[in-house]
Structure 1
Amino acid sequence: MVFGWRRRKNNAHKKNLMVIMDLEIPNHFLCPISLDLMKDPVTLSSGITYDRENIETWLEAGNFTCPVTKQILQSFDQIPNHSLRKLIQEWCMENQKYGVQRIPTPKTPVLPLEVSEILFSVEASVRRKDLFGCLESVKKIQKWGAESERNRRCIMVNGAANVLANALESFATSGSDMSGFEEILSALNWMFPFGEEARKYLGSEASLRCLVSFLKHDDLSVKQNSAMVLTELLSYGDKRHLEVIANIEGLVLILMDFIRKQICPKITKASLMLIFHLVSSSYYTSSETIKSAFVEMGLVSLILGILVDFGKGVIIENALGVMDGICGFEKGRKEAFGNALTIPVLVKKLLRVSDVATAFSISAICKLCKNVNEEDDVQGRSVLVEALQVGAFQKLLLIIQVSCCEETKKKATELLKLLNPYRPQLECIESADFKSLRSSF
């Protein structure tokens, strides 16, 4: 088989000039699955050698046969073929002049038995209240996880999230010095989604207070890891977690500070998601108190500022989700009514960002308009008129025709009925908003 290898030449006048050199690769160097040069050749019980990544993908898909011979495998052991790997590396070295790079010697993947042993070590350290010993084991887990995605899967499948969540909860409950918890937090950050047992440990008051305290940490990565773990935890909708979080002093101030300063995109996204969960749910006792606190600290203006400054992306979706949550309670609606940007910005985002953003925008507008009768009549009518003036009616007509979920279409239809009586001589439209729409028919 002949593959094209490229060699980069330095040329003062023509940068990045690539010369394609035809080079014949020995067939036994190629993986039978991908037909690419093998980086980590392993041999199955059938005697056929494959690249480790490709054969693992094959087996994880539920296949029990050898792809070449079709025979049922007697075992799933993958024996490293060191001799073949060395031959491939030597061939790469011999052909370096043609731009072929030497394949590095692969690290031996972690085995389930090794993972179980290290997790037993973590549990033993927790029982002894030995934080130092626990962190040494966690560092080893982190090292394995950094080596390959395959290692991460092996670690997660063997219940590492449950063990680490238990460790965090145990040490936080005992009042241990939190200076070493960052390692546990960092490891948990790539173990999403959490199972029920891990959520139980992380959802305890001690753990949640510990996670919130990390939001004040000087290290940006620690802030980020803590915000991501909290976001993942609250995404499961457990009202007990929301209740504890809502009663932690200083949380509102911390999250508002993150939104205002926007020190890191990931922290901004996670903070918006945390606020979304807190303002969108009414199933916990302190919901009205924390919602009011966010509104009083100027959340509406901050969110509208983000919607104006950013064009597209997850941040916009998260911000619109927060705005939808704000419009779900009376004090939030009053604040939204009082800001001249609310309706124009929400209408502007319809059909411009994503289906998720459109759904949040429609939901927020719907909440504002459907509560017209509960607000001052003059103010209510002005909201409907303003929505028409910035092109809401035409966009809503399009939304019920293009591909979107049934709930969004239902709300769009409700809005059209509310706006229709105010239509005469008030319509305007931005044609640029209707480019690149996906029709549902």
Structure 2
Amino acid sequence: MVRAESTTTTAIGTSTHAAIKRDELYLNLTVPNLFRCPISMDVMKSPVSLCTGVTYDRASIQKWLSQGHNTCPATMQVLSSTDVTPNLTLRRLIHLYLHHTSTSPAGLSPSSSPSSSLRNSLLSESEALELIKNLSSGDRTSPVTKLVDFVKFSEENRRFIANSVARVSDLVEILRDCEQYEFCDQILLILEFILPENGVKELLNKKILNSDFDYLSKFFWLFRKGNLKSRIASAKILESIAFDADSQRKIAEKQGLLYELYKLSNEETDNAAVEASLSALISISTSRAAKKELVRFGIVKTVGKILSGSYSVRPVIEKALEVLASIATCTEGRVSISEDEGCIHGVIKRLMKCSGAATEHGIMVLWSLCCLARDPTAQNAVIKVNGLTKVLVVMQSDCNPGARQMCGELVKVLRVKNSKSCLASYDTKTTHIMPY
């Protein structure tokens, strides 16, 4: 019976995927060339024009310009300006055409028409407003997935929602009385999508943290009940609103919330989840009390596994080392790191292997242990894995002056501690250590 259900679920998933592919193929075959991006040849979601007058999809042209090109891809003219202008007229024409096609595709059976996801993304702005109004009034019959698809579709759609205080406030208000976590998951995804827009973080800070309703309890509930995507969204939202000491304190002191963020970094193997949770912990855990709590939870062991393991995702490594550097600013954190030899080995392992920022965070951790705390256990652990050589390599690299100074102090301490080493008489003016 279980096998039959599993087979059925797989078949449904495969069928849905095939239907989406069929929709995309149908659109690619029928959409006029005017609506296609000259770079990707796909239907433009957010058409923008260069100074040459040629229109491209925003994502495609921004990628082209970010690679250092200063020409128009279609005409190869040198650009006098790399600014882009939204082509609102063409965008509206594309929407009208796709909406008409999705509702009455000539010569196609209903099963061949574009998917509901595509139709949802083609909601007009007035329809999106009406949907928000219905949702905020308690009408849960309107599928919130329509609004999710709408904000996912284009930057202009996200900006339309974000540019109104009332719309953003209404979305947050929906969480107040909602007891269906599957429904709340969708609202969180919408809020996550509009986070980068101007003013949204400040508005969410005011609405969530300075309201007569305890929204943080709702976030705690969603961490416990929601799916992985909504927990990632929750972590990103909490990080975004923790931009001052008062906000950080309120979030950190909310019973159980800090632990749920920690669990997200410790229990999930999804890189996006680990990065989101570590990033949130960095923003929120700025007080000594919060750092002590993280140490008590076991954050040092968690980060040590990340650093000494096979993780290769740069943002995850950077965030892991930044968390450790933050924890190392309190006594309890330094003691915990010193007692975890594997964590120290992981820090040494990642020096010069990820990014300049990651290396500087790692040097900060080693300096805090070996120079600030003068911990002999930590000093021995660093020497044991040839840490002195790695510090010398960093010292000779293009690091910032602060990191270079910490490297110099580390060299002095470790050189004395390891007097039998051939590097004991190291002189930066005459000796050079090649990176490895």
TM-score, normalized by length of structure 2?
0.65
* TM superposition shift of 1:224: 2.8
**CA deviation after TM superposition for structure 1 residue 166, in Å:** 1.3
| The one of 213, 216, 219 aligned to 2:221 | 213
Counting only pairs closer than 5 Å after superposition, residues 288-303 of structure 1 correspond to structure 2 as: 288=289, 290-303=290-303
Instruction: Flag the 1:316–1:40 CA change in 2: closer, same or farther, 3 A.
Output: closer
Q: Are residues 37 and 324 of structure 1, via their aligned partners in 2, closer, same or farther at CA, if it must alter by over 3 Å? A: closer
Letter in 2 for 1:262: E
Amino acid across the alignment from 1:392: G
Distance 1:339 1:117 in 2: 56
1:266-345 matched pairs, under 5 angstroms: 266-279=272-285, 281-282=286-287, 287-288=288-289, 290-313=290-313, 314-345=315-346
Asked if the contact 1:347/1:392 (under 8 Å) is kept, the reply is yes
Q: Give 2:142's match in structure 1, choosing from 136, 143, 148.
A: 136
TM-score, normalised on structure 1? Answer: 0.64
Confirm or deny: 8 A CA contact 1:259 1:268 kept in the other structure.
yes
Shift of 1:265: 2.7
2:180 is aligned with 1:184: no
Distance in 1 separating the partners of 2:353 and 2:47: 52
Q: 1:398 aligns with which of 364, 387, 393?
A: 393
Kept in 2: contact 1:343–1:386 (CA 8 A): yes
Query: Per the alignment, do residues 34 and 245 of structure 1 end up closer, same or farther by CA in structure 2, a change over 3 Å counting?
Result: same
Kindly indicate whether the alpha-carbon contact (under 8 Å) linking 1:32 and 1:50 is maintained by their aligned counterparts in 2: no
C-alpha distance in 1 between matches for 2:383 and 2:46: 66
Q: Which runs of 5+ in 2 are unaligned?
A: 1-31, 66-73, 80-84, 99-113, 425-431
CA contact (8 A) 1:39 1:51 kept: no
Q: Deviations over 1:251-302 (max 9, x none)?
A: 34433433332253322222222333344x12xxxx41x3223222322222
Which residue does the alignment assign to 1:439? none
Which has the higher Rg, Structure 1 or Structure 2?
A: 1
Total equivalences in the alignment = 354
State how far apart, in whole Å, the 2-side matches of 1:295 and 1:169 are. Answer: 32
* Paired amino acid for 1:309: G
Say whether the 8 Å CA contact 1:212–1:226 is kept in structure 2. Answer: no
- Give the CA deviation at 1:153: 3.1
Residue 92 of structure 1 is matched in structure 2 by none
Q: How many angstroms does 1:360 deviate by?
A: 1.3
Q: 1:238 to 1:213 in 2, by over 3 A?
A: farther
Rounded Cα–Cα distance in structure 2 between residues aligned with 1:52 and 1:305: 44
Q: Contact 2:264–2:277 at 8 Å: present in 1 too?
A: yes
Task: Report if aligned partners of 1:272, 1:319 keep a CA contact under 8 Å in 2.
Answer: yes
Q: Which amino acid aligns with 1:302?
A: T
Identical pairs, percent: 18
Distance 1:227 1:361, change over 3 A: same
CA contact (8 A) 2:189 2:230 kept: yes
RMSD: 4.7
Separation (CA, whole Å) in 1 of partners of 2:266 and 2:45: 51
Establish whether residue 154 from structure 1 lines up as the match of residue 165 from structure 2: no
Shift of residue 338 of structure 1?
Answer: 1.9
Within the alignment, does 1:388 sit opposite 2:383 as a pair? yes
Q: How much does 1:365 deviate?
A: 0.8
Q: Displacement, 1:327?
A: 1.0
CA 1:145–1:427: 2 relative to 1, 3 Å: farther
Q: Could you tell me how far apart the structure 2 residues matched to 1:339 and 1:44 are?
A: 53
